[in-house]
Amino acid sequence: MTGLRIGKLAAAAGVSVETIRFYQRKGLLGLPERRGSGFREYTQADQRRLAFIRRARMLGFTLSEIGDLLGPAEARSAADITSAAEAKLAAVTGQIAELNALACRLRRLMRVCAHGSREDCVALHLPGRPAQSQAV
């Protein structure tokens, strides 16, 4: 079976050619040798690696984290990937908690501004200026 040229690889993966080149510049995806045809042809291993990169991006992993997961020769184990996923889940859970707290504070602010006096709505107060001189 012959390999895929970059355009076909990109189409099969649902990415642009430039995305593949970007991943190559970042060291996440290798640059294949030129074949007898003079074109670079990507293998099934390249397709699997690109699919892994895409799935990891969709799960929120950074390019640096993906590089760590792939390792120099894709030598990482399932345990390494599980550990990285657990760490990512803990970080996302923390972000969700922070966003929930922020949403609560914003709802409280909206209630104060909707039902309180203008002076009660702290969002209208600029530092160093009295509330009554503020424009709405």
- 30 vs 46: CA distance, rounded Å: 8
More confident residue, 49 or 128: 49
| CA–CA separation, 92 and 50 (whole Å) | 24
Per-domain residue ranges of the chain: 1-61, 77-123
The CATH number of 1-61, from 3.50.50.60, 3.90.79.10, 3.30.930.10, 1.10.1660.10, is 1.10.1660.10
| 4-43 per-position pLDDT tens digit | 899 999 999 999 999 999 999 999 999 888 887 788 899 9
